[in-house]
Structure 1
Amino acid sequence: MRALLIATLLLPGAAAAQPSSPLADTPVLARTVEKGERVTAGDFTVDRRPASVARVALKPADADGMEAARRLMAGAPLRASDLVHAQLVRRGESVVITVRAGTLSISTPGKALTGGGAGEAVRVLSISTNRTLDAVVESGGHVRVTTL
């Protein structure tokens, strides 16, 4: 080991003689994906990368339908932190707020103060009462108030 260190310091090109880590087929992005854009399984290609990188790379099936948390460059393997669940309600968008109690259902227009995906908690502003409410995302543009 000591001899290898000395050779690396004194002889040019000696570092290239060190054994490299094994390579493995790794799914990488075939194109650049912008923040908020959905990723599909078709956005991937396979490239040879170090096995340590391949172990933490997301599989295309696991990433399918999720959104980019930030701009993702072509040729990059994806990690879990690079993606978020698809947002059905985005901050600033108009929403329909629904309150249900038994068979009674009341709906009113509102504005999303935070964004979220299906089943996630969001804050909304009721346009009719100018009151901020906690709600749960049901579908695109529709939220349900959990408590009043």
Structure 2
Amino acid sequence: MSLFLALALLAGPAEDVQVAVLGHAVSKGDRLEAGDFTMEGRTVAAARGALGIEDAAGMEATRNLAPGTIVRRTDVMTPQLVRRGEPVTIKLASGTLLITASGRALTGGGKGDMVRVVTNSTSRTLDGMVDGSGVVRVSAP
């Protein structure tokens, strides 16, 4: 929550506060950018829980959002770098040894999230951590 919005909430419901709202429709899975927002006056009660532009920019929409929507924490999530059903590169690193294999994601996640993948060659299911876009790092068994 922005400092301005927090101060306005303390001031009481007498005035409208400026809050960030979407300037256009955003589809589920789209990444929000600072340019997607405009500032509008809303009542203090309506502005409760609103994310500031700096907090929402770079996040991914969890549902379709209409123009004029005040974005809240439940409307966005960390961007998904691995998506369920999509191909991934599975990396196993131990010291200077690096082994890679192709596979498929069984669950999705963002950077640092634990996901489950299956290797294409052996159909073995592994748990690993999202290391980047389409890359999952697993530990030696």
Shorter-normalised TM range: 0.7 to 0.9
Amino acid at match of 1:27: A
Look up the match of 2:4.
Answer: none
1:54 CA drift (Å): 2.3
Structure 1 equivalent of residue 84 of structure 2? 91
Distance in 1, matches of 2:133 and 2:83, equals 9
Whether 1:112 aligns to 2:105 is yes
> Which residue in 2 is equivalent to 1:5?
none
Aligned-pair CA distance for 1:127: 0.8
1:50 and 2:12 aligned: no
The residue that corresponds to 1:139 in the other structure is 132
Q: Over alpha carbons, which structure has the higher Rg?
A: 1
Shift of 1:105: 1.1
Query: Which position in structure 2 is the counterpart of 1:30?
Result: 23
Q: What is the distance in 1 between the residues matched to 2:51 and 2:81?
A: 23
Give the TM-score normalised by structure 2. 0.87
Query: Could you say what the CA RMSD is over the residues aligned between the two structures, in angstroms?
Result: 1.3
- Residue 23 of structure 1: CA displacement? 1.1
TM-score, structure 1 normalization: 0.83
Report if the CA contact (8 A) 2:106-2:115 is conserved.
yes
Q: Runs of 5+ in structure 2 lacking a partner?
A: 1-12
Report if the CA contact (8 A) 1:134-1:147 is conserved. Answer: no
| Whole-Å separation in 1 of the counterparts to 2:61 and 2:90 | 27
How far off is 1:147 after superposition? 4.8
Kept in 1, the 8 Å contact 2:19–2:47? The answer is: yes
The runs of 5 or more residues in structure 1 that have no matched partner are 1-19
CA distance in structure 2 between the partners assigned to 1:27 and 1:129 by the alignment: 49
SS in 1 for 2:67: coil
Structure 1 runs, 4 residues or longer, greater than 3 Å off: none
> Residue by residue, what CA displacement relative to the aligned partner does 1:84-126 show, whole Å, maximum 9, x if unpaired?
0011111111111011111111111000111111111111001
The verdict on how the C-alpha distance between 1:112 and 1:59 changes in structure 2, with shifts beyond 3 A counting, is same
In the alignment, is the contact (CA less than 8 A) between 2:94 and 2:140 conserved in 1? no
Structure 1 residues 71 and 147: alpha-carbon distance in aligned structure 2, compared to 1, 3 A threshold:
farther
